[in-house]
Structure 1
């Protein structure tokens, strides 16, 4: 189930670049973010109403949900949209995948989660793999004030996303808040916060009356937000924020694959090597102990040692399951 959830996240987040690209135009990026999560919240509330899920929570819970909305569905996305105006997509992807490292540190500080050697090594390998994939983009990015601005915006957005992960995990484990209803309220708060920020900044709430813009908005709201974030938060509750955030390392590979089809992207040796490194890192993060045990059984004389290593690694990472992490 963890692998299925992970695959859904990577698939949808790996294709959101299509929706974002369709939205680029006359509408301010922050306004598009507000539209995206307000529409996603509407979809979530329709779904909870159809299933007759309880939506009433005490004030303290709403404060927690509003915090997640501000961190995950408002401020971080606004920063990332503006970051994309300064940096090439490859560099933005690498910055975003640093959320794995942030989640490891923040999970240790705020949730007292043990730091797994598997996750740390996998994270480093994943970042290095993406650096190989997007090496040409990085090499041709000129050092300038735009570069510094973009990097700072990207790091700020990634840190906020990580804090949102920790807050959401805390809501589910300590607060006992259900995932679907929590996501609906948090997206509504996130859209509201972004709308207020746009009003303060004097941004115009215009809508580009084109199929291109509307299609991108609908895809981002339904698939890239409502479905993807419920799936992501479900995975987060099962395996913890450190391993769940590793999806941010995998989805740029999906984006690159689509670029091959739709944007005539040309592969090189470093890009292929980088993709292989990223895939290996993902396999190690998701099923490292089991993979090593299986390989140990295939290799003569190494089964017991591999099994022992898997046992030691499993003891360092809590078992997946509802209510843990």
Structure 2
């Protein structure tokens, strides 16, 4: 297969991994924290995934990151994994439904545009309109019974979304290791930070995890971390940040459906309206990111659109 066609197929696979796998991880996290302390589970998840990926890459001859690359990867790992994923895990432990957590995280593209201003990106009027609509959606979401019942969970989930967005934008200008080694280094540092947070907060295992708890951890390690997170870091290097965070269009619907079917979660009218508003805002700000650009400045994302239109 020609390299020009293999590249779009890799992009398609990476997007599918984010859309479907990450949409399911919200429910799996909820299952996991029934057996594991939240920060401990998240830390073990990323430390195992990072160690496996790092060991495999070194065995394949990939050079170890330099000190500058370790520092850059560590900063992004703490923002995306320790603060981002750790915040989501803590929010679900505080009582936020998995579907509502996914919906709140759908605000990542909105935060991405806001933080992009710090790095010289200029937003269009359409993007600012999307940000305003998204803020209205966040307000509606907080009127729902789910987040009102857990103010701490609401604060944690928005902090997680903001941390993830800032790390995603900042990563574009840092000297990260090439390819999957960036994911491995970030997971190692982010996982270690989560385990430190677990120890400092006094988390303790009171009993052995159930079979479902072990299964959730393994799913999060191999699918949610090694597969999906590596796909996300790949996309951050090859498409615009708002395109890489477009999984926010699909994850809430996947998470809400799985939460209703398998966990008996209930989503109120306010949350349903908020879902429509937030996803509408994310689609609105995605329009400028996916518009046509001249061939001389085309990105891999533009190449993907051209390939799909054939």
TM-score (norm 2): 0.77
Deviation at 1:225? 1.1
What is the match of residue 41 of structure 1?
Answer: 50
Deviation at 1:65? 1.3
1:67 to 72, 75, 82: 75
Equivalents in 1 of 2:178, 2:164: separation in Å?
A: 20
Question: In the alignment, does 2:155 pair up with 1:152?
Answer: yes
CA displacement 1:148-186 (0-9 Å, x = unmatched): 322222222222112221232222xxx263131111011
Whether the 8 Å contact between 1:10 and 1:247 is mirrored in structure 2 is yes
Task: Give ranges in structure 1 of 5+ residues lacking alignment.
Answer: 291-309
| CA shift in 2, pair 1:127/1:61, >3 Å | same
Deviation at 1:16? 0.6
What is the match of residue 32 of structure 1?
Answer: 41
What is the match of residue 12 of structure 1?
Answer: 21
What is the match of residue 172 of structure 2?
Answer: 169
Deviation at 1:117? 5.0
Larger Rg: 1
What is the match of residue 212 of structure 2?
Answer: 212
Deviation at 1:115? 2.1
What is the match of residue 230 of structure 2?
Answer: 230
CA displacement 1:275-300 (0-9 Å, x = unmatched): 8888777777667798xxxxxxxxxx
What is the match of residue 221 of structure 2?
Answer: 221
Equivalents in 2 of 1:153, 1:207: separation in Å?
A: 27
| CA shift in 2, pair 1:218/1:90, >3 Å | closer
Deviation at 1:123? 6.0
What is the match of residue 252 of structure 2?
Answer: 252
What RMSD, in angstroms, separates the aligned Cα atoms of the two structures? 3.6
Equivalents in 1 of 2:271, 2:197: separation in Å?
A: 39
Question: In the alignment, does 2:60 pair up with 1:51?
Answer: yes
| CA shift in 2, pair 1:127/1:217, >3 Å | farther
Task: Give ranges in structure 2 of 5+ residues lacking alignment.
Answer: 1-7, 302-310
CA displacement 1:114-149 (0-9 Å, x = unmatched): 3245555566667878999xx7x9533474xx5332
Name the count of aligned residue pairs. 289
Deviation at 1:226? 1.3
Whether the 8 Å contact between 1:169 and 1:240 is mirrored in structure 2 is no
TM-score (norm 1): 0.73
| CA shift in 2, pair 1:114/1:262, >3 Å | same
Whether the 8 Å contact between 1:129 and 1:274 is mirrored in structure 2 is yes
What is the match of residue 304 of structure 1?
Answer: none
Equivalents in 2 of 1:280, 1:164: separation in Å?
A: 24
2:91 to 80, 83, 86: 83
Deviation at 1:197? 2.0
